[in-house]
């Protein structure tokens, strides 16, 4: 059993860490305050290969592995959680289905620009009445000749306001349940009948846009179908498994930022004549935060390693996602507590970490759903 990263993995991690600390972290508060999409950061990360870490080089990616991807997302999310989720969606929710199920033509046309960081991608699954129950989609795609005519709307779509391409989950026949689901690649800048709806006002990850997508007799070429009819639900579940590793890595990064900021503050904050870092009550909080975050990172790396080597990683991805997000939320709360009153004001980043951490327990499958996934795998049921 070897826990040592390869030289290449360490090189990429160190490169991303330096970039995150020097280019992303200094503007994180401004991005949060203005809700500005960090386009310049995305373009630079694309040039570094981070918008498509595990995508083969012939399709615009860096040709590395998912272990490297986890390391990169942790470092980016330490600096800015919004940047972390943008990278995660590009790599997994959008990148995974196109890379895994797309034709050669689809991968060159629709994957390469996203993996290369020239444009963003998104995955349109959630609807106002279909969240955890992903098989109950109402967005309809009807095949007419060489085109699908799409009607319906999608909610809470990360990157939806800025993405060029979208993998859209729709049903050809709602009475078929999950068997009627398909995935279509949509060119969001060149699809008649499509428009971006409202942009959500959120608690956290404020530089990451969350949008409504509206389809009104939208015309999508039949050639943009991923795989075959009836395969969409299987594709969706596989993509979510991969995406959950990314969200777990985002959460782990947020938790580590909360811990590092709390340590630095505790060393400087003096009460009763000495730094509060000397008090056992504070030390125990930091020790628990560090222990739980280390455990979360190991779980994420294991899940990523299993994916890289072709093993079933559904259970491990669910475990890692819900554990990492739970301990990140706990770390963020304790970080605010260590900062005291200063943790509750925007002058310090502790309150931002707390706002950002919460969503990791909700999106890409609530933590209640993750526990159901784990239980089903343990019991051998579906």
Which domains does the chain carry? 7-120 (1.10.540.10), 122-229 (2.40.110.10), 233-379 (1.20.140.10)
> What Rg value do the Cα atoms of the chain yield, rounded?
21
Q: Is 313 helix (H, G, I), strand (E, B) or coil?
A: coil
Q: Which residue bears the tokens 């007419």?
A: 144
> Distance between CA 240 and CA 271 in Å, rounded?
47
> Distance between CA 89 and CA 37 in Å, rounded?
14
With a pLDDT cut of 90, the percent of the chain lying above it is: 95
The tens digit of pLDDT for each residue in 258-303 reads: 999 999 999 999 999 999 999 999 999 999 999 999 999 999 999 9
- Neighbouring-strand partners of residue 153: 214
Q: What is the pLDDT of residue 136?
A: 83
Q: Is 338 helix (H, G, I), strand (E, B) or coil?
A: helix
* Alpha helical stretches, state H, the chain: 7-19, 28-34, 39-47, 66-79, 81-88, 95-101, 104-106, 112-115, 232-268, 280-308, 314-339, 350-358, 367-379
Q: What is the pLDDT of residue 1?
A: 77
Q: Does 134 score more than 80 pLDDT?
A: no
Mean pLDDT over all residues of the chain? Answer: 96
Residue range 64-87: mean pLDDT, rounded: 98
Q: Is residue 362 exposed (0-12), middle (13-18) or buried (19+ Cβ within 10 Å)? A: middle
Rounded to an integer, what is the distance from CA 373 to the centroid of its chain?
19
Q: Which of 359, 331, 327, 328 is nearest to 343 (CA)?
A: 331
Number of C-beta neighbours around residue 350 at 10 A: 26
Active site residue 364: yes
Residue range 37-45: mean pLDDT, rounded: 97
Q: What is the pLDDT of residue 230?
A: 86
> Distance between CA 342 and CA 350 in Å, rounded?
8
Q: Does 249 score more than 90 pLDDT?
A: yes
Check the CA dihedral 345-347-351-355 and report its sign: positive
Q: Does 132 score more than 90 pLDDT?
A: no
Q: Which residue bears the tokens 């990169």?
A: 72
Q: What is the pLDDT of residue 133?
A: 82
Q: Which of 126, 201, 209, 207 is nearest to 163 (CA)?
A: 209
- Neighbouring-strand partners of residue 187: 165
Residue range 352-363: mean pLDDT, rounded: 98
Q: What is the pLDDT of residue 315?
A: 97
The tens digit of pLDDT for each residue in 163-186 reads: 999 999 999 998 888 899 999 999
* Alpha helical stretches, state H, 269-279: none
> Distance between CA 117 and CA 124 in Å, rounded?
19
Give CA separation, 160 vs 154, 187, 277, 328, 338, in Å: 10, 12, 43, 25, 36
Q: Does 242 score more than 90 pLDDT?
A: yes
Q: Which residue bears the tokens 């943009």?
A: 224
Encoded tokens for 148: 């699908």
Give CA separation, 260 vs 1, 228, 263, 274, 377, in Å: 29, 48, 5, 20, 36
C-beta of residue 136 within 8 angstroms of C-beta of residue 130:
yes
Number of C-beta neighbours around residue 64 at 10 A: 23
> Distance between CA 131 and CA 121 in Å, rounded?
20
Q: How many CA atoms lie within 13 A of 51 on its CB side?
A: 27
Rounded to an integer, what is the distance from CA 60 to the centroid of its chain?
20
Q: Which of 120, 334, 351, 364 is catalytic?
A: 364
Q: Does 79 score more than 80 pLDDT?
A: yes
Q: Provide the pairing of β-strand 147-158 with 140-144.
A: antiparallel
């Amino acid at each position: 059993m070897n826990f040592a990263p390869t030289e290449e993995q360490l090189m990429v991690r160190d490169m991303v860490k330096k970039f995150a600390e020097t280019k992303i972290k200094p503007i994180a508060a401004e991005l949060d305050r203005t809700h500005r999409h960090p386009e310049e950061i995305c373009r630079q990360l694309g040039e570094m290969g981070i918008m498509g870490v595990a995508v083969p080089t012939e399709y615009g990616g860096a040709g590395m592995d998912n272990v490297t991807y986890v390391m990169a997302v942790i470092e980016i999310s330490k600096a800015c959680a919004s940047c972390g989720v943008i990278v995660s969606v590009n790599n997994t929710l959008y990148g995974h289905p196109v890379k895994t199920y797309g034709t050669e033509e689809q991968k060159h046309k629709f994957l390469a620009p996203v993996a290369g960081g020239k444009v963003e991608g998104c995955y349109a699954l959630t609807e106002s009445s279909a969240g955890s129950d992903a098989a109950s989609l109402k967005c309809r795609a009807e095949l007419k000749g060489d085109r699908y005519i799409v009607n319906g709307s999608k909610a809470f779509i990360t990157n939806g306001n800025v993405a060029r391409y979208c993998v859209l989950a729709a049903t050809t026949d709602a009475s078929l349940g999950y068997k009627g689901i398909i995935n279509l690649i949509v060119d969001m800048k060149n699809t008649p009948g499509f428009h971006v709806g409202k942009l959500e006002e959120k608690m956290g990850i404020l530089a990451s846009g969350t949008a409504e997508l509206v389809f009104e007799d939208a015309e999508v070429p039949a050639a943009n179908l991923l795989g075959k009819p009836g395969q969409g639900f299987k594709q969706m579940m596989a993509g979510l498994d991969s995406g959950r590793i990314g969200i777990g890595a985002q959460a782990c990064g947020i938790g580590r930022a909360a811990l590092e900021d709390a340590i630095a503050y505790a060393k400087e904050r003096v009460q009763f004549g000495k730094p509060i870092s000397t008090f056992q009550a504070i030390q125990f909080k930091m020790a628990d935060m560090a222990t739980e975050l280390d455990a979360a990172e190991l779980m994420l790396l294991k899940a990523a390693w299993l994916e890289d080597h072709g093993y079933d990683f559904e259970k491990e991805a669910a475990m890692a996602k819900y554990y990492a997000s739970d301990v990140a939320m706990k770390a963020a709360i304790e970080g605010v507590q260590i900062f005291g009153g200063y943790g509750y004001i925007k002058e310090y980043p502790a309150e931002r970490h707390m706002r950002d951490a919460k969503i990791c327990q909700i999106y890409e499958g609530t933590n209640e759903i993750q526990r159901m996934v784990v239980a089903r795998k343990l019991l051998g049921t579906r």
